[in-house]
Structure 1
Amino acid sequence: MFEHEKEEIDTKAGFVAVVGRPNAGKSTLLNHIVGEKLAMVSKKAQATRKRMNIIVMHDDAQIIFVDTPGIHEKERLLNQFMLDEALKAMGDSDLIIFLAPVTDKLTEYEKFLKLTQAKGVKHIVVLTKIDHVKQGDILAKLSEYQKYQDCFEAIIPFSVNKKVGKKQLLDEICKHLPISPFLYDPEILTTEHIRNIYKELIRESIFENLSDEIPYESDVTIEKIDESDTIDKVYATIVVEKETQKGMIVGQKGAGIKRVGKLAREQMELFSGKKIFLDLHVAVKKGWSKNKDGLEEFGYII
């Protein structure tokens, strides 16, 4: 039992699914709120593949944010898994945060309403990227959403760059959480194992350094981590579907994989506060993302 559970005070705790279309800014918002680089951020769409729990303490409440893949149409098996992850997170949560870039039309929100009608979970709309438009545009968008005011609990303009909306959002979330003892140790930021965080940081580096189809047809396996107080030695393999993709990652005289490894190592050191030794290799597993067995090897259970 945690120390705080012995105190006779009303605490709250609950799960909050963070959803929206690909590239709506979910991971950027969560990293900003928690103050750490935990969720994968990429300018390319559909970078996040699995749910991740990110824990934020606010007043007497423990908010367990669930970062989800972007809501999008099911095209390939991997996309189907990603959409299922988002839908499960919505159904399992106490509250949903729907991220709506201020420049988007309301069609994405209307699709979201259809998906959530049967789930009966309350939601808050967060207007993201408001620093990209003028104040009048923000007011106009808020006015557009008023026809759906009976559907949402609140609508909150939010900007990571201008640091607008964070306290208002956390205060609003806490209003809707159930009375509960804390579900996790208040000292931890995520329920994810270090192995999964390192994997996601390597995947992010692939997205940042390589173009076209490679990021979408690749994944990362962490073979081994040797941990000590001052250095983590990480042995990892990037898995792709074609020999040509392997050649593009490795690059001329190994320049490509060195670039991927350098950015990944820097981000891993930033997260862990330790030195990182990263041993990175590339392997080919033909068509892994196109069949159920291949996907299940990487933990994508459909």
Structure 2
Amino acid sequence: MTKCGYVSVVGRPNAGKSSLLNWLVGEKIAMVSHKANATRKRSNIIVMHNDNQIVFVDTPGLHETEKLLNQFMLDEALKAMGDCDVILFLAPVTDKLTHYESFLEKNKKDVKHILLLTKIDNVSGEEVLQKIHEYEKYSDKYEAIIPISIKKATKHSDILDEVVKYLPEHPYLFDPEIMTTEHLRDIFKEFIRESIFENISDEIPYETDVIVNKVEEKPNVDVIKATIIVQKSTQKGMIIGKGATAIKRIGKDARTKIEKLTGRKCFLELFVSIKKGWTKDKKGLKELGYDVTF
């Protein structure tokens, strides 16, 4: 009998969740940014391992804030934690234990979890052992603790073998040929958002979103039209840039990501629209696909 189940990947903002999942699946699917709170919604990434199917759930970072959009993001992460078979908690090796202690409080259903010590290539072996020793006082809470570096040393099986142990025996939930349940349109949206994060500084990326208006597959090219949503006219000016330099840079960056995933040429046309205060009211959030229920 095969094993199959949901595994939520959680941790503080910028703990490396999306990078880990892209590495495990061998493709760039999840949005990655060096800036915190880039991931806004749950998304499923499917990994096959020794005839078992693991449905990883990428989640926004666990954090506290009063902002409505951020509350939605935290709610997404908490729902993923409550609905899965096992949790992978990512803890950068240089972090204090406070993030992990906060996670334990939020894990209301006491779902089994594996602790991954990430970014170990930044410290010495002695520091890794010291951090493992610090976590040992919570050894009754986690099933295993695994130091990892996706840049070197760690093999996929180091993580996947351990994860499979805690999955139920179950037929596959999805076609084993697919890597994600996300629609291509949604992945394109995230690539454009990622390009905004990479090319526009300061807080502006956090107040932007993207609507993919049209995706047309022509014989030799994919034609994509998308609108970048901002809150203020000054932000619109910065997204476009002098002589449209900024939006051209965003478009070029996003197009490269899209073409690498699809293996096809892409014509990407970007527009910019102002939607005042969209991050601060439920109606604005719902119109952009963030179904705020609280």
TM-score (norm 1): 0.95
Residue 281 in 1 paired to residue 271 in 2? yes
Q: CA deviation at 1:212?
A: 1.3
Task: Return the match for 1:14 from 2, 5, 24.
Answer: 5
Residue 49 in 1 paired to residue 40 in 2? yes
Residue 40 in 1 paired to residue 40 in 2? no
Q: What is the alpha-carbon distance in structure 2 between the residues aligned to residue 36 and residue 231 of structure 1?
A: 21
Query: What is the alpha-carbon root mean square deviation over aligned residues?
Result: 0.8
Q: CA deviation at 1:213?
A: 1.6
Task: Return the match for 1:60 from 48, 51, 70.
Answer: 51
Q: CA deviation at 1:120?
A: 2.3
Count of aligned residue pairs for this structure pair: 292
Counterpart AA for 1:274: R
Counterpart AA for 2:68: L
What's the counterpart of residue 229 of structure 2? 239
Residue 185 in 1 paired to residue 175 in 2? yes
- Secondary structure at the aligned position of 1:85 is classed as helix
What's the counterpart of residue 89 of structure 1? 80
Counterpart AA for 1:28: S
Q: Structure 1, unaligned stretches of length 5 or more? A: 1-9
What's the counterpart of residue 67 of structure 2? 76
Q: What is the alpha-carbon distance in structure 2 between the residues aligned to residue 157 and residue 171 of structure 1?
A: 14
Q: CA deviation at 1:231?
A: 1.7
Q: CA deviation at 1:165?
A: 4.6
What's the counterpart of residue 142 of structure 1? 132
Q: Say whether the 8 Å CA contact 1:17–1:90 is kept in structure 2.
A: yes
Residue 166 in 1 paired to residue 148 in 2? no
Q: Say whether the 8 Å CA contact 1:157–1:165 is kept in structure 2.
A: no
Q: What is the alpha-carbon distance in structure 2 between the residues aligned to residue 27 and residue 14 of structure 1?
A: 19
Residue 215 in 1 paired to residue 202 in 2? no
| Identity of matched residues, % | 63
Q: Say whether the 8 Å CA contact 1:51–1:67 is kept in structure 2.
A: yes
Q: CA deviation at 1:168?
A: 1.4
Q: What is the alpha-carbon distance in structure 1 between the residues aligned to residue 36 and residue 92 of structure 2?
A: 14
For the structure 1 residues 214 and 220, does the alpha-carbon distance in structure 2 shift closer, same or farther, using more than 3 Å as the test?
same
What's the counterpart of residue 101 of structure 1? 92
The range that moved more, 221-230 or 15-24, is: 221-230
What's the counterpart of residue 262 of structure 2? 272
1:263-291 deviation line (CA, Å, top 9, x unaligned): 00000001111101001011101111110
Q: Say whether the 8 Å CA contact 1:158–1:166 is kept in structure 2.
A: no
Task: Return the match for 1:292 from 260, 282, 285.
Answer: 282
Q: What is the alpha-carbon distance in structure 2 between the residues aligned to residue 229 and residue 93 of structure 1?
A: 41
Q: CA deviation at 1:257?
A: 0.3
TM-score (norm 2): 0.98
For the structure 1 residues 264 and 226, does the alpha-carbon distance in structure 2 shift closer, same or farther, using more than 3 Å as the test?
same
Counterpart AA for 2:95: D
Q: What is the alpha-carbon distance in structure 1 between the residues aligned to residue 54 and residue 219 of structure 2?
A: 30
Moved >4 Å (runs of 4+)? none
Residue 127 in 1 paired to residue 113 in 2? no
Residue 248 in 1 paired to residue 238 in 2? yes
- Secondary structure at the aligned position of 1:207 is classed as helix
What's the counterpart of residue 26 of structure 1? 17
For the structure 1 residues 137 and 293, does the alpha-carbon distance in structure 2 shift closer, same or farther, using more than 3 Å as the test?
same
1:247-268 deviation line (CA, Å, top 9, x unaligned): 0010001001000000000000
Counterpart AA for 1:102: V
Q: Say whether the 8 Å CA contact 1:207–1:215 is kept in structure 2.
A: yes
- Secondary structure at the aligned position of 2:186 is classed as helix
Residue 258 in 1 paired to residue 258 in 2? no
What's the counterpart of residue 195 of structure 2? 205
Q: Structure 2, unaligned stretches of length 5 or more? A: none
